[in-house]
Amino acid sequence: MTDEAGDRIPLLRAAGLTVRMGDIEVLRDIDFSLRRGDILGIIGESGAGKSMIGRVIADQLPDGFSVTSGMLRFGALDLIGMPPKDHRRLLGREIAFIPQEPMMALNPSMTIGSHFEEHLAHLGHTPSTMRRKTIEALSDVRIAAPEHVYDQYPFQLSGGMCQRVLIALAFISNPDLVIADEPTASLDVTSQGHIIGLLRRMQQKHGTAVLFITHQLALAGQICTEVAVLYAGEVVERGATKAVFTAPQHPYTIALKAAAPLLDGEWTPLASLRGHMPGLKEYRTLDGCRFAPRCATASDACRQATVPLRQKSDHLARCLYDDAEARVEFPEGAARASLGQSKGELLRLDSVSKTFFRSGWFSRKPGVNALRNVSLEIAAGEFVGIVGESGSGKSTLGRLAMGLEDATNGTILLDGKPLGRSEDEWERRIAAIQLVFQDPRAALNPRRRVVDLATQAIQPRMMRADARRARAETLLRSTGLPTDMLDKVSAEMSGGQRQRVSIARALCNAPRLLIADEVTSGLDVSVQAQILNLLLNIRKEYGIALMMISHDLAVVRYLCSRVVVMWKGEIVETGLTEEVFRNPQHRYTRELISAIPPDDMNQPWLPLLEFAKAS
């Protein structure tokens, strides 16, 4: 499939590519090249400009953004200079896209079949061959009943199935280049494995080049031939995947690696990167290296002029120094929550069940069994992780413990006494238990200032304003926020700062148990490390217990001494975190663990092996 020349000339090449919005350089001096049949990973946190690269390739820059210099070539074609009409003709034929949110990327009022019919007609196929061709394409992506799926609507399929459909749609024109923008970001971990395996198989079968945009280092390590690490609109490091991952040279890449919690090996404290990635407006003030404010080694030379990509041992990095270090911090008294030492039972769930009813005209029919016979204890000061995929009932469990939902059966006991629904019981409950929500942007009232948000719990009390302010200050300090944030509102903060405020608010009344529902899943790796270390510090300071609800096993391993694995509303396995992860007993736990791409890129990853065997 690949000819001699195709092997040497890159299929896609960017050099000095710069995108501006007004006087802001959104992308600065982007260089990369992708050969036919290779996978290039574009790695970066949110706001780094990863998706902007895809937009340049598709000629779909938002209003006000334009390419001001540099070149972008697709084979012999100049993608920057070519007429928009010709550019558009490439899309869906030679260049295909696999989108981020599969459920959203299919038209809800069209059947799967009609999506294909439209696309095939666009590609010039005659109506008579369409159905057969579609069925073929659907079977190719391992959809079991393609004839059935053909007539279904997107909302009748799961996210993983929708992504299969979109992969089939992308490869049906046998494109030269596929751009996959975080194709598994919104999927469960077990579907992620299947989708990545499938993508890799299709890529190999068609000899396609893939631009793989992701924020997950381990994932990129498994499938990419080469990677480019993006930070604040610049490529800070690039080269062969192995070279970049085994010996990263740029302090950002090093810090990013050190900030990711690991699934196996010795427990080590995470080094969390200080501060946050600059926003677009801050680019103006950063003339030189954009990473300088977070770098411990940065000198005046770094700050004054742009730093070029330089050859370092076996790959390129945008750094003047050979041993630069990022400004990182470790949790105080580096210690994971000690292993399951109960200091007396705090919260106890006794065969709790929850059924959601569907209400009809005359009757209530049982709908979903969200929880079945769940029993669980949390001791004072204990960190317990609840893991499982979406629909496993883990969030329902948290909401029941908090009292946001009522259990259908079973009892919940606090300090050995059952919790009822009366006003007094509620007071007792919220004095001891607090919940931190997944999305801090939605959980914080956008019109209230931090000082009011953080001290919401003591608002009903008669209290002098300055006493309240003092309390807020203490809380901010405990959560690692500068006290000059007291008078800010939610819109003025970054995602990590918002989540800290949300945690500060939960701590206000010194609760004994914190329920954290996916509190880091919306955050970037480097910010996630800050929050995880914060939780460890809080444990030290307040002696608090934690119920950590998460789909991320590595996060749970980092924080929790004990883990509970949930599947379809039931607890399928529970025990000490280390033991469960090292020697999982239940089939589902094993599946869950093997679906995660291993931290060490040299380790084989099961989903890829399975696909290699199958093809």
- Chain residues that interact with another protein, rule: CB under 8 A: 58, 60, 88-93, 96-97, 99-101, 104-111, 118-119, 122, 153, 155-156, 166, 169
Structure tokens at 399: 């909401």
Check if the beta carbon of residue 503 is closer than 8 Å to that of residue 527: no
- Angle CA(427)–CA(483)–CA(516) in degrees, nearest 5? 40
| Distance in Å, CB of 365 to another protein, minimum | 14
Q: Minimum distance between the CB of residue 106 and another protein, rounded to whole angstroms?
A: 6
Pair 65, 147: CB distance under 8 Å: no
Q: Could you give the CA distance from residue 83 to residue 375 in angstroms, rounded to a whole number?
A: 64
Tokens 């009522």 found at: 406
Report the residue number, 60 or 375, with the smaller CB distance to another protein. Answer: 60
Min. distance of Cβ 117 from another protein in angstroms?
11
**Could you tell me the smallest distance in angstroms from the CB atom of residue 53 to another protein?**
14
Query: Do residues 412 and 400 touch, judged by C-beta distance below 8 A?
Result: yes
Using the minimum distance from each CB to another protein, give the nearer residue, 110 or 491: 110
The phi, psi pair for 211, rounded to 5°, reads -100, 110
Tally of CB atoms within 10 A around 185: 13
Asked if 156 contacts 72 with a C-beta cutoff of 8 angstroms, the reply is no
Query: How many Cβ atoms from other residues are within 10 Å of residue 431's Cβ?
Result: 14
Alpha helices in 373-464 (DSSP H): 394-402, 423-432, 440-443, 450-454
Instruction: Tell me how far, at minimum, the Cβ of 104 lies from another protein, in Å.
Output: 4
Q: How far is CA 454 from the centre of its chain?
A: 26
Q: Of 54 and 607, which CB lies nearer to another protein in the complex structure?
A: 54
- Judged by CB, which is closer to another protein: 119, or 399? 119
Q: How far is the CB of 445 from another protein (least distance, A)?
A: 25
For another protein, the closer of residues 96 and 244 by Cβ is 96
Minimum CB separation of residue 499 from another protein in Å reads: 26
Output the six-digit token pair for 599: 């931290």
Residues 201 and 192: their CA atoms lie apart, in Å, by 14
Q: Give the residue with the Cβ less far from another protein, 92 or 340.
A: 92
Task: Find the DSSP H helices in 228-337.
Answer: 241-246, 251-259, 300-304
Which lies closer to another protein via its Cβ, residue 92 or residue 275? 92
Q: Which is nearer to another protein, 202 or 508 (CB)?
A: 202
Shortest distance, CB of residue 164 to another protein, whole angstroms?
Answer: 15
Looking up tokens 């299919």 gives 106
